[in-house]
Amino acid sequence: DAKTTQPPSMDCAEGRAANLPCNHSTISGNEYVYWYRQIHSQGPQYIIHGLKNNETNEMASLIITEDRKSSTLILPHATLRDTAVYYCIVRVQDDYKLSFGAGTTVTVRA
Amino acid sequence: GAGVSQSPSNKVTEKGKDVELRCDPISGHTALYWYRQRLGQGLEFLIYFQGNSAPDKSGLPSDRFSAERTGESVSTLTIQRTQQEDSAVYLCASSFRQPNYGYTFGSGTRLTVV
Protein backbone atom coordinates (compact mmCIF):
# COMPACT_ATOMS: atom_id res chain seq x y z
CA ASP A 1 0.00 0.00 0.00
CA ALA A 2 1.81 3.10 -1.28
CA LYS A 3 0.73 5.63 1.32
CA THR A 4 3.90 7.67 0.78
CA THR A 5 5.87 8.68 -2.28
CA GLN A 6 9.59 9.41 -2.19
CA PRO A 7 12.19 10.02 -4.90
CA PRO A 8 14.22 6.86 -5.50
CA SER A 9 17.61 8.47 -4.99
CA MET A 10 19.48 11.66 -4.30
CA ASP A 11 23.06 12.79 -3.86
CA CYS A 12 24.29 15.25 -1.29
CA ALA A 13 27.64 16.93 -0.71
CA GLU A 14 29.30 16.29 2.62
CA GLY A 15 28.74 19.16 5.04
CA ARG A 16 25.71 20.47 3.19
CA ALA A 17 22.08 20.11 4.22
CA ALA A 18 20.16 17.20 2.73
CA ASN A 19 16.45 17.81 2.15
CA LEU A 20 14.44 14.65 1.63
CA PRO A 21 10.88 15.10 0.39
CA CYS A 22 7.93 12.82 1.02
CA ASN A 23 4.37 13.02 -0.28
CA HIS A 24 1.54 11.56 1.79
CA SER A 25 -1.57 13.12 0.28
CA THR A 26 -3.98 10.57 1.79
CA ILE A 27 -2.76 10.89 5.37
CA SER A 28 -5.49 10.60 8.00
CA GLY A 29 -5.95 12.97 10.90
CA ASN A 30 -4.62 10.52 13.46
CA GLU A 31 -1.61 9.36 11.44
CA TYR A 32 1.87 10.52 12.25
CA VAL A 33 4.74 10.95 9.82
CA TYR A 34 7.73 8.81 10.77
CA TRP A 35 11.18 8.70 9.26
CA TYR A 36 13.58 5.78 9.50
CA ARG A 37 16.83 5.05 7.78
CA GLN A 38 18.71 1.86 7.03
CA ILE A 39 22.44 1.90 6.62
CA HIS A 40 23.83 -1.00 4.62
CA SER A 41 23.88 -4.27 6.56
CA GLN A 42 22.19 -2.74 9.59
CA GLY A 43 18.66 -2.73 10.96
CA PRO A 44 16.40 0.27 10.42
CA GLN A 45 17.03 3.23 12.70
CA TYR A 46 14.35 5.60 13.96
CA ILE A 47 15.06 9.24 13.09
CA ILE A 48 12.11 11.44 13.95
CA HIS A 49 8.34 11.66 13.83
CA GLY A 50 5.65 14.34 13.94
CA LEU A 51 1.94 14.94 13.66
CA LYS A 52 1.54 18.48 12.38
CA ASN A 53 4.13 20.67 14.05
CA ASN A 54 7.70 20.85 12.87
CA GLU A 55 10.04 18.74 14.96
CA THR A 56 13.78 18.79 15.61
CA ASN A 57 16.07 16.42 17.41
CA GLU A 58 19.79 15.73 17.47
CA MET A 59 19.63 13.85 14.20
CA ALA A 60 17.32 15.84 11.96
CA SER A 61 14.47 18.25 11.49
CA LEU A 62 11.03 17.39 10.16
CA ILE A 63 8.99 20.00 8.34
CA ILE A 64 5.32 19.11 7.74
CA THR A 65 3.20 21.27 5.45
CA GLU A 66 0.12 22.90 6.88
CA ASP A 67 -2.20 20.60 4.94
CA ARG A 68 -0.06 17.63 6.08
CA LYS A 69 0.07 16.22 2.57
CA SER A 70 3.83 16.35 2.38
CA SER A 71 6.89 16.66 4.56
CA THR A 72 10.63 17.16 4.34
CA LEU A 73 13.33 15.55 6.40
CA ILE A 74 16.35 17.79 6.80
CA LEU A 75 19.78 16.47 7.71
CA PRO A 76 21.48 19.77 8.54
CA HIS A 77 25.10 18.82 7.93
CA ALA A 78 25.32 15.56 6.03
CA THR A 79 28.28 13.29 6.67
CA LEU A 80 29.47 10.22 4.81
CA ARG A 81 27.91 8.11 7.57
CA ASP A 82 24.48 9.44 6.61
CA THR A 83 24.60 7.44 3.39
CA ALA A 84 21.59 5.14 3.73
CA VAL A 85 18.09 4.37 2.50
CA TYR A 86 15.62 6.77 4.11
CA TYR A 87 12.04 5.69 4.62
CA CYS A 88 9.05 7.96 5.18
CA ILE A 89 5.96 6.22 6.56
CA VAL A 90 2.64 7.28 7.99
CA ARG A 91 1.04 5.37 10.82
CA VAL A 92 -1.10 5.80 13.89
CA GLN A 93 0.98 5.92 17.04
CA ASP A 94 -0.06 2.58 18.47
CA ASP A 95 0.22 0.66 15.21
CA TYR A 96 3.10 -1.68 15.85
CA LYS A 97 3.44 -2.94 12.29
CA LEU A 98 5.99 -1.09 10.22
CA SER A 99 5.71 -1.19 6.47
CA PHE A 100 8.39 0.40 4.35
CA GLY A 101 8.20 1.32 0.71
CA ALA A 102 11.27 1.63 -1.48
CA GLY A 103 12.54 4.75 0.26
CA THR A 104 15.13 7.24 -0.96
CA THR A 105 18.69 6.08 -1.35
CA VAL A 106 20.81 8.99 -0.17
CA THR A 107 24.46 9.05 -1.13
CA VAL A 108 26.64 11.61 0.62
CA ARG A 109 29.74 12.42 -1.41
CA ALA A 110 32.97 13.93 -0.14
CA GLY B 1 22.02 -4.34 27.15
CA ALA B 2 22.71 -1.17 25.25
CA GLY B 3 20.97 -2.32 22.11
CA VAL B 4 19.07 -5.17 20.53
CA SER B 5 21.41 -8.08 19.98
CA GLN B 6 20.78 -10.81 17.42
CA SER B 7 22.66 -14.03 16.86
CA PRO B 8 24.03 -15.45 14.75
CA SER B 9 24.75 -12.52 12.46
CA ASN B 10 25.03 -14.88 9.50
CA LYS B 11 23.70 -18.40 9.02
CA VAL B 12 24.08 -20.67 6.04
CA THR B 13 22.01 -23.81 6.17
CA GLU B 14 21.05 -26.62 3.88
CA LYS B 15 17.54 -26.88 2.55
CA GLY B 16 15.42 -28.99 4.86
CA LYS B 17 17.36 -28.23 8.03
CA ASP B 18 15.90 -26.40 11.03
CA VAL B 19 17.36 -23.10 12.24
CA GLU B 20 16.99 -21.04 15.40
CA LEU B 21 17.51 -17.32 15.44
CA ARG B 22 17.97 -15.49 18.70
CA CYS B 23 17.06 -11.98 19.80
CA ASP B 24 18.09 -10.23 23.03
CA PRO B 25 16.00 -7.07 23.36
CA ILE B 26 16.86 -3.96 25.31
CA SER B 27 16.43 -4.56 29.01
CA GLY B 28 13.01 -3.41 30.18
CA HIS B 29 11.45 -3.41 26.72
CA THR B 30 8.26 -5.39 27.03
CA ALA B 31 7.38 -5.38 23.34
CA LEU B 32 9.36 -7.41 20.83
CA TYR B 33 8.91 -7.80 17.09
CA TRP B 34 10.26 -10.01 14.35
CA TYR B 35 10.47 -8.85 10.75
CA ARG B 36 11.88 -10.32 7.58
CA GLN B 37 13.58 -8.39 4.81
CA ARG B 38 14.30 -10.06 1.52
CA LEU B 39 17.06 -8.66 -0.65
CA GLY B 40 16.11 -5.25 -2.02
CA GLN B 41 12.66 -5.36 -0.49
CA GLY B 42 10.87 -3.73 2.39
CA LEU B 43 10.07 -5.05 5.84
CA GLU B 44 7.70 -7.96 6.27
CA PHE B 45 6.08 -8.22 9.71
CA LEU B 46 6.21 -11.68 11.23
CA ILE B 47 5.15 -11.61 14.89
CA TYR B 48 4.68 -9.30 17.87
CA PHE B 49 5.23 -10.16 21.53
CA GLN B 50 3.92 -8.20 24.48
CA GLY B 51 5.67 -9.71 27.45
CA ASN B 52 5.69 -13.46 26.94
CA SER B 53 2.51 -13.63 24.92
CA ALA B 54 2.14 -13.15 21.18
CA PRO B 55 -1.10 -11.29 20.46
CA ASP B 56 -0.29 -11.09 16.76
CA LYS B 57 1.26 -13.96 14.84
CA SER B 58 -0.44 -13.03 11.61
CA GLY B 59 2.77 -12.45 9.68
CA LEU B 60 4.26 -15.90 10.13
CA PRO B 61 4.38 -17.23 6.54
CA SER B 62 3.65 -20.88 7.30
CA ASP B 63 3.48 -23.41 10.10
CA ARG B 64 7.20 -24.02 9.58
CA PHE B 65 7.76 -20.74 11.39
CA SER B 66 7.35 -20.38 15.14
CA ALA B 67 8.60 -18.05 17.82
CA GLU B 68 8.69 -17.95 21.56
CA ARG B 69 9.76 -15.54 24.23
CA THR B 70 10.72 -16.38 27.77
CA GLY B 71 11.11 -14.20 30.82
CA GLU B 72 10.10 -11.05 28.94
CA SER B 73 13.54 -11.02 27.43
CA VAL B 74 15.09 -13.40 24.93
CA SER B 75 13.09 -14.51 21.92
CA THR B 76 13.81 -17.34 19.51
CA LEU B 77 12.49 -17.59 15.97
CA THR B 78 12.55 -21.14 14.66
CA ILE B 79 12.24 -22.12 11.03
CA GLN B 80 11.71 -25.82 10.41
CA ARG B 81 12.54 -27.60 7.17
CA THR B 82 14.04 -24.48 5.64
CA GLN B 83 13.37 -23.65 2.01
CA GLN B 84 15.35 -21.45 -0.34
CA GLU B 85 12.63 -18.79 -0.24
CA ASP B 86 13.32 -18.43 3.49
CA SER B 87 16.62 -16.75 2.62
CA ALA B 88 16.44 -13.21 3.97
CA VAL B 89 17.60 -10.96 6.77
CA TYR B 90 15.57 -11.58 9.90
CA LEU B 91 15.29 -8.47 12.02
CA CYS B 92 14.27 -8.21 15.64
CA ALA B 93 13.15 -4.99 17.29
CA SER B 94 12.01 -4.03 20.75
CA SER B 95 10.22 -1.11 22.34
CA PHE B 96 9.07 0.00 25.75
CA ARG B 97 5.47 -1.13 25.66
CA GLN B 98 4.17 0.17 22.35
CA PRO B 99 6.39 1.86 19.79
CA ASN B 100 5.26 5.46 20.19
CA TYR B 101 8.74 6.70 19.58
CA GLY B 102 9.92 4.08 17.20
CA TYR B 103 11.47 0.73 17.56
CA THR B 104 15.07 -0.13 18.22
CA PHE B 105 16.20 -2.72 15.74
CA GLY B 106 18.98 -5.23 15.93
CA SER B 107 21.40 -5.69 13.04
CA GLY B 108 19.62 -8.83 11.93
CA THR B 109 20.52 -12.41 11.07
CA ARG B 110 21.28 -13.02 7.41
CA LEU B 111 19.92 -16.47 6.60
CA THR B 112 21.00 -18.21 3.43
CA VAL B 113 19.41 -21.52 2.54
CA VAL B 114 21.41 -23.50 -0.01
pLDDT for position A2: 58
> DSSP string covering B69-81, please?
E-TTS-EEEEE-S
B73 within 8 A of B24, measured Cβ to Cβ: yes
With cut-offs at 50, 70 and 90, classify the pLDDT of residue B114. Answer: very high
The DSSP string of chain B is --S-EEE-SEEEE-TT--EEEEEE--TT--EEEEEEE-TT--EEEEEEEETTEEEE-TT--STTEEEEE-TTS-EEEEE-S--GGG-EEEEEEEESSS-TT--EE---EEEEE-
Q: Residue window 64-83, chain B: list those with CB within 8 Å of chain A.
A: none
Amino acid identity, residue A102? A
Q: Does A3 touch chain B (CB under 8 A)?
A: no
Residue-wise pLDDT tens digits, B75-103 = 999 999 999 999 999 999 998 876 666 68
Contact B100 A96 (CB under 8 A): no
- Confidence bin at B41 (pLDDT 50/70/90): confident
Q: Under an 8 A CB cutoff, do A94 and B100 touch?
A: yes
The predicted pLDDT at position A75 comes to: 97
A99/B43 CB distance under 8 A: yes
Residue of B nearest to A32 (CA): B100
Cβ-Cβ contacts under 8 Å, B91 against chain A: 43-44
pLDDT band at B1 (very low <50, low <70, confident <90, very high): low
Contact call for B43 and A102, based on CB within 8 A: no
- Over residues A90-101, the mean pLDDT reads 83
Q: Which residue has the higher pLDDT, A95 or A28?
A: A28
pLDDT at residue A1 above 60?
Answer: no
Dist CA B102 CA A46 (whole Å): 6
pLDDT of residue A93: 77
Given A36, A43, A98, which is nearest B106 (Cβ)?
A43
- Torsion of Cα atoms, A35 then A103 then A16 then A71, to 10°: -50
Name the CA radius of gyration of chain A, rounded: 13
> Does the pLDDT at position B56 exceed 70?
yes
Q: Is the per-residue pLDDT at B2 higher than 80? A: no
pLDDT of residue B99: 60
Percentage of chain B beyond pLDDT 70 is 95
Cβ–Cβ < 8 Å for A86, A73: yes
Distance between CA atoms of residues B37 and B110, nearest Å = 9
